[in-house]
Structure 1
Amino acid sequence: MSALVLAQALEGDVRVGLEALASGFAAIGYGLGVIGSAIGVALIWSAVINGTARQPEAQSKLMSIAWTTFVLVEVLALIGLVVFFLV
């Protein structure tokens, strides 16, 4: 075999290896993004619980704010999922 044929074969293997590596890094990145999202959701609901315990009459207002911010955090997690599958 000539050196050119061997180099072309090796290039194909390296490209496949790099694609697998990029896919692995994308999975790690999405996992870290989900952890961040989970921490954000926990902070939101803990603030609602603390606020309701301190001032029970403000529960309805706190819940509406909490649901709004919860949706925003979860949408960011879903966008991360979409980006993961696009990469």
Structure 2
Amino acid sequence: MTWKQVTNMEHLAKEAYAGGGAVLKYNYRVLAVRLDRFGYRAAIYEFVETPEETGLAETECRLNLTAVAPEYFEDGGHAIAWCIEHL
């Protein structure tokens, strides 16, 4: 399972929640965790547009992938911890 280079919070949430993960806004970045068959994966996105620029809801604004954890995690908490360490 790969992370999309450009997406938004709505699409990330659909993938994450279906797999027992999470999508968390952290200032101008988004931390994403999802579960696949090998364990939890983690990625960091940053906003490339704002609601003020687009007139869209924040969850619809585009995000750009900035980092992906190279390993799998045993749970979502460790995956989010990786994200926070790599902001």
TM-score normalised by structure 1 residue count: 0.25
Task: Work out which of the two has the higher radius of gyration on C-alpha atoms and give 1 or 2.
Answer: 1
More strand by share: 2
More helix by share: 1
TM-score normalised by structure 2 residue count: 0.25
